[in-house]
Amino acid sequence: MARLITRIAPDVGWLPVSFANVYFIGRPGGKWVLVDAGMPGRANEIMDAAEARFGAASRPEAILLTHGHMDHAGSALALAERWDVAIYAHRLEMPYLMGKSVYPPADPTVGGAIAFLSRFWPSRSRDLGKCVRELHPGKVPGATGWQWMATPGHSPGHVSFFRPSDRVLIGGDAFATMNMDRWSGLITGKQMLARAGSPFTSDWQAARSSLQELTNLRPNVIGCGHGIPMCDAELPARMQGFSERFRAPRNGRYVRRAARTDENGIVDLPPAPFDPVPLMTAASLLLIGIALGSGYLDKTER
């Protein structure tokens, strides 16, 4: 049975797919678009939900990407090929979406839950081939009344989507509505304004500037890439307070110097800080191996 899309605003629907969100803009019986495409292998789940809402023969006008990280673009190509539609992203995301470059490496030394997990996150480029197109200024394909704005920091070509008429914001990973830096936040998904994907943010100064620009929009509804969407009368004030308190992590590869990128991908990276966790893990495994080899553990069990 298909999971149902949850309405968060007039003609805006939300579907959590694994731990990342996708959004549907449009009404049943009319034109619609998909914003973000979840992890690889999730195309069927997204298509089933779309068919339940828009009809079995329906397909979107376009797939819009806030950015190209794997949890947002993982199923984009599979969906684009099945629906025969184009994928749109910012031009500075193109090297990572066309197989020309990998993203700046994740930085697990920022600390926190998602940073620990980032050590196991594969780093590779994606090649969406002929399906991918550049977003043009002032136009959101298939979504009348919406605008997109560049909100770099988390990734070089990150964008957010905004509808001024009712101030609905789809913010991707410019920020989040759950605290992924804490294990409790990842497990419970408690609704709150927080940093998004700290180990994957490669320019903290740009991230803060982007957040301030989004705060200035005074959104009434917020849907981010991670966390339950938010809608209440106090959101503009809460966003303002969050923006004022926003800080980069104390330590990390990109905290004091951002990764430099251009239309071809990575230009220059700050040196990677020492990461003690792999060494500690290797040392622990070595000690266990020595103990097993010497028979110490066997002796202690008797």
- Does 282 have pLDDT greater than 60? no
Look at residue 122 in the predicted model and tell me its pLDDT: 79
Look at residue 133 in the predicted model and tell me its pLDDT: 96
Least confident of 91-100, 153-162, 227-236, 278-287: 278-287
> Which has the higher per-residue pLDDT, 233 or 146?
146
- Does 283 have pLDDT greater than 80? no
Q: Which of 131, 135, 137, 148 is nearest to 213 (CA)?
A: 148
pLDDT in tens, 161-176: 999 999 999 999 999 9
- CA angle 80–84–85, rounded 5-degree value: 65
Label each residue of 165-224 as H, E or C: CCCEEEEECCCEECCCCCHHHHHHCCCCCECCCHHHCCCHHHHHHHHHHHHHCCCCEEEE
Residue count of the chain, please give it: 302
Q: What is the CATH number of domain 6-296?
A: 3.60.15.10
Say whether 84 sits in a helix, a strand or coil.
coil
Q: Which of 146, 145, 203, 147 is nearest to 174 (CA)?
A: 203
What mean pLDDT, rounded, does the chain reach? 91
pLDDT in tens, 200-256: 999 999 999 999 999 999 999 999 999 999 998 899 999 999 999 999 999 999 999
Query: pLDDT band for position 286 (50/70/90)?
Result: very low
**221 conformational bin, left if phi > 0, alpha if psi -120 to 50, beta if neither:** beta
Look at residue 125 in the predicted model and tell me its pLDDT: 75
Query: pLDDT band for position 157 (50/70/90)?
Result: very high
Average pLDDT, integer, range 85-91: 98
What percent of the chain shows pLDDT beyond 70? Answer: 91
CA–CA distance, 49 with 60 (Å, rounded to integer): 13
Exposed, middle or buried: residue 185 (CB in 10 Å: 0-12, 13-18, 19+)? buried
Note whether 104 and 118 are within 8 A (CB). Answer: no
- Does 297 have pLDDT greater than 90? no
CA 276 to chain centre: 27
CA–CA distance, 109 with 119 (Å, rounded to integer): 10
Say whether 294 sits in a helix, a strand or coil.
helix
- Does 292 have pLDDT greater than 90? no
Look at residue 289 in the predicted model and tell me its pLDDT: 41
CA–CA distance, 94 with 67 (Å, rounded to integer): 10
Query: pLDDT band for position 1 (50/70/90)?
Result: low
Per-residue tokens: 180: 């992924």
> Which has the higher per-residue pLDDT, 297 or 160?
160
Q: Strand pairing partners for 88?
A: 64, 133
Widest CA span in the chain: 74
Residue 267 CB-half CA count within 13 A = 9
